[in-house]
């Protein structure tokens, strides 16, 4: 058999392997956790399983089902990772994959970025922080187009549960440097996150206070 | 014919390169637009230079985390060089010059950006890198390209090329939507929290395009609930797309289900839902190139013959009418 004759078969084999690999890549990278299974969606899944199997005579408690699901997911994830190991360099150097957690959990608590600046404190009034930017509200520092850009938001947008990303401090330093370079009258910049609680339709989001406050002085900026 | 020979024959099919060329051009344009935005906002250094050179990301000169920084040194100049190479590759991909090499080089360069600033690399970047890997294995440069002009002396050709890259891109869209739909199990995406996901998202100041008042949001709340429900349905129905495409491609075989599916235009309904979904996202949320990047892959859902038929119909519709000759 010549190569030209064998090529369609070889190609079909290669595509099949690639598709299998991509499907395996879609398996979640983390197993289920007991904490996650106590969420409403976890409880719902377990109750579905319980009802479905009890209809065919398999009776198990919620805790038993939860334990089984966690153990099964641990095995599947371990198998996925083992199957993936030989192909890891490919996925590393191309940064490709099939994990698509797009807006999976819109949280009723979220953050709003605040950027403030302060002049050198000569007089009492100047010791107050001046609000330069509050997401979707105030934009005195002309930062909106930059800060709303998706890549930058990906760096600073903190998770309501897990807090800010690893580069949040670096972002605050960079933003302070950027602002102080463009506004010579300011001596320091404060970057923070206002926690908001989103209520029922018709109600204003409620502020729950300011967190993750980072202050950068002009003297400390490179 | 065994199942395996049918499988081999399926991946050995050939078709005109129009759909792949459209995907190639659309993907490249979306990437160029995104890179252009980075340059316009002056964020190249911030996003990808080492911390000591004014960058935000985790890369430092002491511990470079990307191959490019290891090879040519971690500096703002290296970030700009990498950015320039990626822009050139995207441009080259767009005009179809060294198409396969451009697609692969762009994918590798873009992956370096992902390593330099992981939080700045979003799902859409991964999706389009996946598409670039497929494009670099395809003959997407066989038409509407400089490659075609140089090789065949004309911009547009009728050369039949392997169809499998288009099929793989269809499967990519299916996997993207189905995965995204399947993991949307949290209360706001379900009846537990009254399908409130879009309402919540539009209340998040970092994402919402318009600063709608609580009264305005309350007024459109039922619509947002419906849109949330439709989003979940649209995404979870994605595995039906290959079946609908097959039913469409084999319309002449007959059968009640096939006829019903084609008569109800279920495929077109799903595609239109997708287009409306992405245009809605583009209008209501600040997601950058996400909606456009997804839509850039939609030509994969269309057979090249259909594209040509549409083009011809459009030409007939918009072509200037022949002037009537005066009879002497």
Q: Cα–Cα distance between B23 and B30 in angstroms, integer? A: 10
The residue of B56, B67, B170 whose CB has the most chain A CBs within 10 angstroms, and thus the best one to mutate to test that interface, is B56
More confident residue, B328 or B297: B297
A56 touches B at CB < 8 Å: no
Question: Tell me, what's the pLDDT at A12?
Answer: 97
Of A94, A98, A150, the CB nearest to B179: A98
| Contact yes or no for B194/A196 (Cβ under 8 A) | no
ipTM of the modeled complex: 0.91
Question: Tell me, what's the pLDDT at A102?
Answer: 81
Cβ separation A110–B205 shorter than 8 A: yes
Instruction: At A138, list the tokens.
Output: 């105030």
Question: Tell me, what's the pLDDT at A221?
Answer: 75
Question: Tell me, what's the pLDDT at B328?
Answer: 41
Mean pLDDT of B278-286: 96
Cβ separation B117–A112 shorter than 8 A: no
Mean pLDDT of B232-261: 95
Question: Tell me, what's the pLDDT at A109?
Answer: 95
Instruction: At B304, list the tokens.
Output: 């090249």
| Contact yes or no for A73/A31 (Cβ under 8 A) | yes
| Contact yes or no for A106/B197 (Cβ under 8 A) | yes
Say if residue B21's pLDDT is above 90: yes
Question: Tell me, what's the pLDDT at A36?
Answer: 82
Other Cβ atoms less than 10 A from the Cβ of B193: the count is 17
The residue of B1, B119, B188, B236 whose CB has the most chain A CBs within 10 angstroms, and thus the best one to mutate to test that interface, is B119
Per-residue model confidence as pLDDT tens digits over A128-154: 899 999 999 999 989 999 999 999 999
Q: What is the DSSP letter of A143?
A: -
| Contact yes or no for A112/A193 (Cβ under 8 A) | yes
| Contact yes or no for B51/B60 (Cβ under 8 A) | yes
Q: Cα–Cα distance between B60 and A136 in angstroms, integer? A: 33
Mean pLDDT of B203-221: 95
Instruction: At B23, list the tokens.
Output: 């995907």
Helix (H) or strand (E) holding A216: strand A206-217
B250 touches A at CB < 8 Å: no
Residues in a beta bridge with A109: A197
Per-residue model confidence as pLDDT tens digits over A196-220: 999 999 999 999 999 999 999 998 8
> For chain A, what's the residue count?
222
Mean pLDDT of A86-98: 94
* Cα distances (angstroms) measured from residue B91 to each of A5, B35, B98, B139: 36, 11, 11, 17
* Cα distances (angstroms) measured from residue B305 to each of A125, B19, B152, B276, B298: 72, 9, 21, 24, 15
Phi, psi of A194 (to 5 degrees): -90, 120
Single out the residue of B80, B136, B303, B285 nearest to residue B200, CA to CA: B285
Cβ contacts of A11 on chain B, cutoff 8 Å: 11-12, 164
Confidence of residue B71 (pLDDT cuts 50, 70, 90): very high
* Cα distances (angstroms) measured from residue B80 to each of A8, B91, B115, B318: 42, 16, 15, 44
- Average pLDDT score over chain A: 91
Say if residue A179's pLDDT is above 60: yes
A38 touches B at CB < 8 Å: no
Q: Cα–Cα distance between B163 and A46 in angstroms, integer? A: 43
Of A39, A44, A150, the CB nearest to B288: A150
Min Cα separation B41/chain A (Å): 6
Single out the residue of B241, B89, B97 nearest to residue B169, CA to CA: B241
**Which pTM does this prediction carry?**
0.93
Mean pLDDT of B158-179: 97
- Dihedral angle at the C-alpha atoms of B175, B177, B180, B186, nearest 10 degrees? -140
**DSSP 3-state helix, strand, coil percentages of chain B (rounded to 5)?**
70, 0, 30
Express as a percent the part of chain B with pLDDT over 70.
Answer: 98
Per-residue model confidence as pLDDT tens digits over A29-63: 889 988 888 888 888 889 999 999 999 998 999 89
Question: Tell me, what's the pLDDT at B322?
Answer: 63
Of A22, A40, A157, the CB nearest to B206: A157
Determine the angle formed by the axes of helices B304-318 and B18-40, rounding to 10 degrees: 80
Q: Edge-to-edge strand order for the sheet containing A138-139?
A: A138-139, A130-134, A109-118, A188-197, A206-217
């Amino acid at each position: 058999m010549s190569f030209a004759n064998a090529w369609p078969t070889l190609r079909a084999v290669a595509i099949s392997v690639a598709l299998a690999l991509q499907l395996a890549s879609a398996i979640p990278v983390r197993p289920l956790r007991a904490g996650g299974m106590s969420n409403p969606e976890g409880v719902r899944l377990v109750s579905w399983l319980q009802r479905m199997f009890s209809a065919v005579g398999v009776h198990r408690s919620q805790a038993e089902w939860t334990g089984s699901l966690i153990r099964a997911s641990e095995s599947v994830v371990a198998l996925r990772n083992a199957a993936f190991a030989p192909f890891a360099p490919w996925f590393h150097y191309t940064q490709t994959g099939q994990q698509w957690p797009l807006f999976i959990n819109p949280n009723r608590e979220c953050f709003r970025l605040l950027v403030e600046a302060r002049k050198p404190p000569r007089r009492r009034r100047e010791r107050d922080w001046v609000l330069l930017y509050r997401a979707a509200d105030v934009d005195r520092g002309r930062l909106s187009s930059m800060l709303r850009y998706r890549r930058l938001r990906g760096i600073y947008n903190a998770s309501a549960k897990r807090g800010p990303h690893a580069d949040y401090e670096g972002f605050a330093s960079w933003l302070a440097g950027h602002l102080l370079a463009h506004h010579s009258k300011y001596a320091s910049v404060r970057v923070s996150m206002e926690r908001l609680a989103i209520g029922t339709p018709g109600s204003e989001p409620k502020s729950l206070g300011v967190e993750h406050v980072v202050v950068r002085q002009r003297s400390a900026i490179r | 014919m065994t199942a395996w020979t049918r499988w081999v024959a399926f991946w050995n099919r050939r078709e005109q390169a129009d759909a792949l060329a459209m995907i190639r051009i659309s993907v490249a344009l979306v990437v160029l637009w995104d890179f252009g935005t980075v340059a316009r906002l002056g964020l190249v250094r911030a996003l990808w230079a080492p911390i000591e050179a004014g960058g935000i990301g985790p890369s430092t000169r002491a511990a470079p985390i990307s191959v490019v920084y290891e090879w040519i040194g971690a500096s703002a100049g290296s970030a700009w060089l990498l950015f320039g190479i990626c822009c050139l590759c995207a441009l080259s991909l767009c005009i179809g010059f060294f198409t396969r090499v451009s697609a692969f080089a762009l994918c590798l360069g873009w992956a370096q950006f992902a390593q330099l600033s992981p939080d700045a690399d979003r799902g859409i970047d991964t999706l389009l890198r996946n598409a670039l890997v497929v494009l670099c294995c395809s003959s997407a440069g066989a038409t509407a390209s400089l490659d075609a002009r140089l090789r065949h002396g004309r911009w547009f050709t009728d050369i039949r090329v392997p169809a499998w890259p288009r099929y793989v891109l269809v499967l990519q869209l299916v996997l993207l939507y189905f995965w995204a739909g399947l993991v949307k199990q949290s209360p706001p995406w379900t009846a537990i929290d009254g399908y409130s996901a879009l309402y919540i998202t539009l209340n998040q100041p970092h994402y919402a395009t318009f600063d709608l008042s609580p009264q305005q949001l309350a007024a459109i709340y039922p619509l947002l609930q419906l849109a949330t429900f439709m989003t979940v349905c649209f995404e979870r129905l994605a595995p039906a797309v290959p079946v609908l495409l097959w039913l469409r491609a084999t319309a002449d075989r007959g059968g009640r289900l096939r006829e019903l599916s084609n008569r109800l235009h279920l495929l077109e309904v799903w595609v239109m839902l997708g287009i409306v979904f992405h245009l809605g996202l583009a209008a209501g949320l600040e997601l950058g190139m996400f909606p456009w990047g997804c839509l850039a892959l939609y030509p994969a859902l269309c057979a090249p013959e259909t594209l040509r038929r549409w083009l011809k119909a459009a030409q007939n519709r918009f072509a200037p009418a022949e002037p009537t000759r005066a009879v002497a």
